Amino acid sequence: MNEERKEMDSALKEAFIPELRKRGFKGSMPHFRRILQDRVDYLTIQFYSAGGGFVVEIAKSGPNGVESGFGSELPVEKLSVQYFGKRLRLGSRPEEGVRDHWFEFGRKSYEQQGPIKPYEHYLDVAKSVVPFLDTQAEKWWNNDG
């Protein structure tokens, strides 16, 4: 793991994960879940293989997890976003045909390397994810997804 990724991990743990905890999520990087009476909400942070960015994807299931097919043999506690075909990337705008969104924080491994940015940069990127919990995620989880 390079220095930029370490800084981004630290910033997410400081500024984003506490917001998930306030909302009742359990788990650890990169997979989180919130078990409610009528459903389970899932959130995963996935870093780009070349570095420099990440996505935050969400999904949900009924209270028993995956009813049939891929993942149906697993308990809710072992499931993650990747087990669901219907999911949303936070920051995307599916109503406008934009289904992808990356939170960019640094250079890709194939780009020229140099000094890393101050920690505040990574903290700002982590904080930029938080509003999407209210403006997209909660609405998506509470509706038909």
What is the helix (H) or strand (E) element at residue 8, kind and residue range? helix 3-15
Within 10 A of 114 (CB to CB), how many other CB atoms are there?
A: 7
**What pTM was estimated for this model as a whole?**
0.92
Chain segment 88-133, per-residue pLDDT in tens = 999 999 889 888 999 999 999 888 888 899 999 999 999 999 999 9
Q: How far apart are CA 134 and CA 131, in angstroms?
A: 6
Model pLDDT for residues 37-57, shown as the tens digit of each residue: 999 999 999 999 999 999 999
What is the Cα–Cα distance from 35 to 116, expressed in whole angstroms? 38
Confidence of residue 68 (pLDDT cuts 50, 70, 90): low
Residue of 53, 56, 55, 58 whose CA lies nearest to 8 = 53
